[in-house]
Every structure is written in C-alpha cells, then in structure tokens.
Amino acid sequence: MQRLQGKVAIVTGAGSGIGQAIAKRLGCEGAKVLINYRGSEAGADETRRAIEACGGQSVVIQGDVTKMDDLRNLVDTAWNKFDSADILVNNAGLEIRSDFWDTKEEDYDRQMAVNLRGPYFLAQAFVRRLRDAKKPGRIINISSVHEDMAFPGFTTYCCSKGGMRMMMHNLTVELGPLGITVNNIAPGAIATPINKALLEDKPKLNALLANIPLGRLGTPEDVAAMVAFLTSDDASYITGATFLVDGGLMRNYHEQ
Ligand code: NAI
Ligand code: BGC
C-alpha cells in the first residue's frame, strides 16, 4: 500500500545511513522526494535509483544545512518542481566527540550549526511556504535517545539533540493551528557511518549490545518505518511527541 501518494517530502542528509533509508521508504510509499546531500553525490544517486526502482519520483539536490541560502533553495526547489513541500524530515547530523574540558569553540559551533540551527531555519522556510499556501504539513526531526539521555564525551551532541527536543515542543504549539504536526524520532544505536568507530571496536560494540534489551543494533529501515507511519494519514492526530526506536536501550537497567 502506498500511503503517501500526492505528498512531497524533503529529507536532509539522504545520501547515507538513516536519511537514505527514509528517503527510499517515503519514495516507495508514493511521495515525491527531495534528496538532499552535502558531500556524497554517489550516495544520493543510489537513493534516487532505489526510488526509481519503486516507480517513484525524486530530485537530488546538493546543499549544506548550515547555509541559509541552501535551506531556502531546498524548499523553493520542492515547490518549483513538485508544487508543494508537505513533509520535512530533518535528518542530517553529525557527532563530534570531545570531553567537556577539551571542547573547542569551533566544534561546539559546528555541532549546533548542523544539528540544531539547520533544522530550525529549514523548518522556518518550510512552514512559511505552507502558511502562505494555507496547507497542512508534517515535520519529523531525527533527534536521538540523547535528546534525553546523557552521553559522556558527547556533551555538544546532547545539547544539540536536547535543543531539538524543545524546538519540537514549542513548534507543536505554534504550528498546530496551521495544521502542521511536529514529532521527533529518537533512535538508539543504529548501524550507520556515524557509528563507524564503534562498529569497528568489538569490545565496545559488545558492551553496547549488552545494554540493548532486544540484543541487536537498529537498522536505518527500523527508523524509516516510523517516519512512514508518522507522515501517513494514520498519524494525523499525533503531534508533540518523541518516538523511541531504540530496541529498549533507553529503559535499560540492571543490578548485577
Ligand atoms: P550518517 O553519518 O550516515 O548520516 C548523516 C548525514 O548527514 C550524512 O549523509 C551527512 O552527509 C549529512 N550531513 C552532515 N552535515 C551536513 C550538512 N552540513 N548539510 C547537509 N547534510 C549534512 O549517520 P546517520 O546515523 O544516518 O545519522 C542521521 C541522523 O540520525 C543524525 O542526525 C544522527 O544524529 C541521528 N542519529 C543516529 C543514530 C545512530 O546510531 N546512527 C542514533 C540516533 C540519532
Ligand atoms: C549516536 C550514536 C549512539 C547512539 C546510542 C546516537 O545518537 O549518534 O553514536 O550509538 O545514539 O547511544
């Protein structure tokens, strides 16, 4: 069943990992997809081909979410090519490791620029066009279990995701009257390039697996399935919530 026929979706960071799986899934559910990528055009092309194989339509568009012109261009391209932009998935992100006492100013700024400032102003550009057109919409932010849970060594990352959590809470209230829903998806540990170092470190990986009640890492497709639901008509009354896709990681506690 194609649940997103007639919809247009923008997915940032859709040339790899979770964003790629989301773009593919939305495209195969019938949405026309704007596949944003920053660096890896090959990855974005792979996403486009997968959507084509499902009989879907998409456009690949280069853009850096830290640049205001690129954000506006993403939304404008959606409207110019497909006459709408109904779904925004703020997925692009990065994770910079540093102990608190060593954090450099430029790393703090970059972390916030990509993970929080970009989603904020992209959502703004997305909402302005919908408001002018008097159309409803859906915003999904890919945050993390670390919008809530501490992650020592990654304080700037947690600040960015915690900020995304409050952004979602506020936008729920401000955008509800416009018919725009806003939800976060909080993945746990998903096997993607962002976790390369961890995936290559067996002892660390095993320690992490021991913390996940379902006993495995998540897949990008696990996250994409939640996006497909939250952007479908079945989720029209759902706004202001964070949905864990984490195999139980967040709830885990053991006494040895
Ligand atoms: P990934 O590294 O494959 O994906 C991140 C994507 O963001 C890449 O395609 C990258 O090119 C893009 N990106 C980075 N900076 C950008 C910029 N300035 N402009 C445009 N695009 C940019 O890793 P993954 O895991 O797919 O990450 C996607 C999102 O999921 C991130 O926001 C991450 O924080 C979040 N997440 C990932 C988890 C995991 O365990 N893999 C768990 C929880 C959240
Ligand atoms: C991080 C991953 C981490 C996962 C679970 C995500 O937000 O990007 O590096 O494995 O949370 O802790």
256 has pLDDT over 80: no
pLDDT band at 255 (very low <50, low <70, confident <90, very high): confident
- pLDDT for residue 34: 98
Question: How large is the angle between the packed helices 17-28 and 41-53, nearest 10 degrees?
Answer: 20
Ligand 2 centre to CA of 203 (Å) is 16
Q: What is the mean pLDDT of residues 226-230?
A: 98
* Torsion sign across C-alpha atoms 107, 218, 92, 159: negative
Distance 81 CA to ligand 2 centre (A): 35
Tell me if residue 157 is catalytic.
Answer: yes
Ligand 2 within 6 A of 165 CB?
Answer: no
**pLDDT band at residue 225 using 50, 70 and 90 as cut-offs:** very high
Q: Is the CB of 248 under 6 A from ligand 1?
A: no
Ligand 1 centre and the CA of 193: distance in Å? 8
Strands 180-187 and 87-90: unpaired
Is the pLDDT at 253 greater than 90? The verdict is no
Ligand 2 centroid to Cα of residue 96, in Å, is: 11
Token pair listed for 227: 């996006």
Per-residue pLDDT band for 21 (boundaries 50, 70, 90) equals very high
Q: Is the CB of 183 under 6 A from ligand 2?
A: no
pLDDT at position 1 over 90: no
Q: How confident is the model at residue 40 (pLDDT cuts 50, 70, 90)?
A: confident
Which tokens hold the place of 83? 């006459």
Strand partners, 11: 35, 89
**Cα distance between residue 245 and residue 74, in whole Å:** 27
The answer to whether the CB of 17 is under 6 A from ligand 2 is: no
Q: Which residue has the higher pLDDT, 69 or 40?
A: 69
Overall average pLDDT of the 32-52 stretch: 97
* φ and ψ of 29, to 5 deg: -90, 5
| Catalytic residue of the set 37, 157, 237, 253 | 157
- Kindly list the structural domains of the chain, giving each domain's residue range(s) and its CATH number in brackets, ordered by start: 8-244 (3.40.50.720)
- Which atom, in ligand 1's list, is nearest to the CA of 66? 18
Q: How many whole angstroms from 195 Cα to the centroid of ligand 2?
A: 7
- pTM score, whole prediction: 0.98
| Residue whose CA lies nearest to ligand 2 atom number 1 | 189
Mean pLDDT across the chain: 97
Q: Stretch 113-117: mean pLDDT, rounded? A: 99
Mean of the pLDDT values across residues 132-152?
Answer: 98
**SS3 sequence, the chain?**
CCCCCCCEEEECCCCCHHHHHHHHHHHHCCCEEEEEECCCHHHHHHHHHHHHHCCCCEEEEECCCCCHHHHHHHHHHHHHHHCCCCEEEECCCCCCCECHHHCCHHHHHHHHHHHHHHHHHHHHHHHHHHHHHCCCEEEEEECCHHHCCCCCCEHHHHHHHHHHHHHHHHHHHHHHHHCEEEEEEEECCECCHHHHHHHCCHHHHHHHHHCCCCCCCECHHHHHHHHHHHCCHHHCCCCCCEEEECCCHHHCCCCC
218 Cα nearest atom in ligand 1? 40
86 lines ligand 2 (CB under 6 A): no
- pLDDT higher than 90, residue 164: yes
pLDDT, mean of residues 8-33:
98
The residue whose CA is least distant from atom 3 of ligand 2 is 189
